[in-house]
Structure 1
């Protein structure tokens, strides 16, 4: 196995083999801070490794890394807000009117329609297994914690309430939970957040589709993975989500191939949950500012590879939608 490269050796490699100029103590420190493998190696292409970004100076690499980092910083609190708000809405509606507010009781009372639908029944069984697994894992972990939320209930011979379980469910679990609810309960939730459009979403599944779509972005942001080129995308956009967003905003060509499409979907949700549009407008402003900063820091060729041609018009249309 070859010996690990020194920082000076990596700088020579960038200059001689990659045609990227890098010199001086400042850029040396930047290479150390960002890392050659997480930094240059991770940001040297768009989506696929054969789509190389034509860097000529390390300052351009830094500009793209900073763009990515700043967008993650802008998105993180917004995604956390949405996740928490949607968990609360789904949880509250799921237990409303029931004698008990536990997962078992909700599963029995509000995940019981369409029993002959084998595909739905399998999803419900998988959800139940996943929840039980996470509860048992949490119970075990709390032996070493001061905050013993799950143990507080089970050690008294009680089931944990649904709100306690929702505290540690992942976004994909929330999407699955919503997907498994009875049709009437899903419709109630969709109506609460003004997401129900029977002409598009006949199966009342739009929210789960949105959550499954945002899950990949949320995880990439939370784990400091690269997001600028949406390489985190793990699914094609569903036809229901595409039609709803385009009808809602008037913005066409929603494909998820560009970060702007995720911004649009997030802003659609924020408009319903945040009400005063402050978070949505702040996110859109930061996105535009970061695009402008990137444009001033890299060549037009690099910029056009990262920011698609229709992004400017989508930003204009999204701003009009938010202020309508």
Structure 2
């Protein structure tokens, strides 16, 4: 508390002391003193502003979580169905030989060919490591191991992180990827096979931030760039321009779009949008304009208006 006061932030009393202890020093000050990176310092002068930023971030994570889980589970199941249909086997070794052959789509000897081949080898190591890591934690792993049977692909998928699943999808032969995006109903005029991979990794970053209670409201969780073509896809599908994932609203748009592909009812998708709007409305009232405006872009309301229109028509 003394350090915060030395930084020009008003804080005092047993109530704020307890709140700071509950939030933690990182979330209570270090995490919310800037937006995106440390060069973009927020003009915070009162601990109540920090508490509001923290509460806003927590509510956004709570809103996202069940929808991210729904999408992750569904994408794994769509992929699993396509793989089993192609391989005619649930044994990973059979699938490795017949399905995880993306490298064949490149000319031998090229950098892309070598990179894809190396990714395939790493995937083999990842799956072996996953089985070793989970063999005593997952009852179904132990069941198959103790019976001397190969662990089936569906069990491996159950234990895969979203990032590991993304690497699995990346290694699939293109016709299998095509059957997945066709099943989802993604548009054929885009390279939807490649876009789905970019989407999976963008969701992986958001999911990990939520799971580890990292800050999400300023999208600092992004570990890499997201293909500009994802924004073009969303503009084509929803009519919303300037989706570049520089703010959390764009992730709301992506999640709503994916839930639509999964045929999640309109009422559920609208509830996600209205829930997000409610969070923004509350903290627009609580936070000073310059702090709120540093996190929530001026075009947010128009994007959400168009998103609701898209859901209504879809």
Measured against the shorter chain, the TM-score band is over 0.9
Matched, 1:132 2:128: yes
Aligned equivalents of 1:24 and 1:306: distance in 2? 28
**Matches for 1:181-196 after TM superposition, within 5 Å:** 181-196=172-187
Larger displacement relative to structure 2 (21-30 or 219-228)? 21-30
- In 1, Cα distance between the equivalents of 2:227 and 2:93? 31
Aligned to 1:283: 272
Match of 1:74 among 50, 63, 67: 63
CA distance in 2, matches of 1:113, 1:127: 12
Counterpart secondary structure, 2:37: coil
> Match for 2:73 among 62, 68, 84?
84
Asked if 1:151 corresponds to 2:137, the answer is no
TM-score (norm 2): 0.92
2:299 is matched with 310
Partner of 1:108: 97
Counterpart position of 1:208:
197
CA contact (8 A) 2:252 2:273 kept: yes
Aligned residue number for residue 119 of structure 1: 115
- The whole-number CA distance in structure 1 between the counterparts of 2:268 and 2:96 is 34
Please name the residue that 2:4 is paired with: 14
Contact 2:87/2:99, CA 8 A, preserved across alignment? no
Aligned-pair distance for 1:244? 1.0
Aligned to 2:227: 238
Q: CA deviation at 1:296?
A: 0.5
Cα deviation per residue 1:229-259 (whole Å; 9 max; x = unaligned)? 0111111120321221121111111111100
Q: Report if the CA contact (8 A) 1:178-1:207 is conserved.
A: no
Residue 286 of structure 2 corresponds to which residue in structure 1?
A: 297
| Alignment partner of 1:55 out of 44, 61, 64 | 44
The alignment status of 1:259 with 2:248, answered yes or no, reads yes
- The range that moved more, 148-157 or 168-177, is 148-157
State the distance in 1 between where 2:207 and 2:176 align.
26
**Count of matched residue positions in the alignment of Structure 1 and Structure 2:** 306
The superposition leaves residues 172-222 of structure 1 with CA deviations (integer Å, 9 ceiling, x where unpaired) of 11111111111111111101111242x3207x2221110011111100000
Q: Contact conserved, 1:78 with 1:279, CA < 8 A, in 2?
A: no
CA distance in 1, matches of 2:257, 2:102: 30
CA separation of 1:42 and 1:112: change in aligned 2, threshold 3 A: closer
CA–CA separation in structure 2 for the residues paired with 1:169 and 1:83: 11
* Runs of 4+ more than 6 Å apart: none
How far did residue 318 of structure 1 move? Answer: 0.9
2:151 is aligned with 1:160:
yes
Per the TM alignment, residue 97 of structure 1 is displaced from its structure 2 partner at its CA by 5.3
For residue 303 of structure 1, report the CA deviation from its aligned partner: 0.9
- In structure 2, C-alpha distance between the alignment counterparts of 1:111 and 1:50, rounded to whole Å: 43
- Structure 2 residue aligned with 1:34: 23
Alignment check: 8 A CA contact 1:216 1:232 kept:
yes
> Does structure 1 conserve the Cα–Cα contact (< 8 Å) formed by 2:102 and 2:116?
no
Deviations 1:97-148 (A, max 9, x none): 5432122111111123653333322221211111111112222xx1xx5x52
Deviation at 1:69, TM superposition (A): 0.6
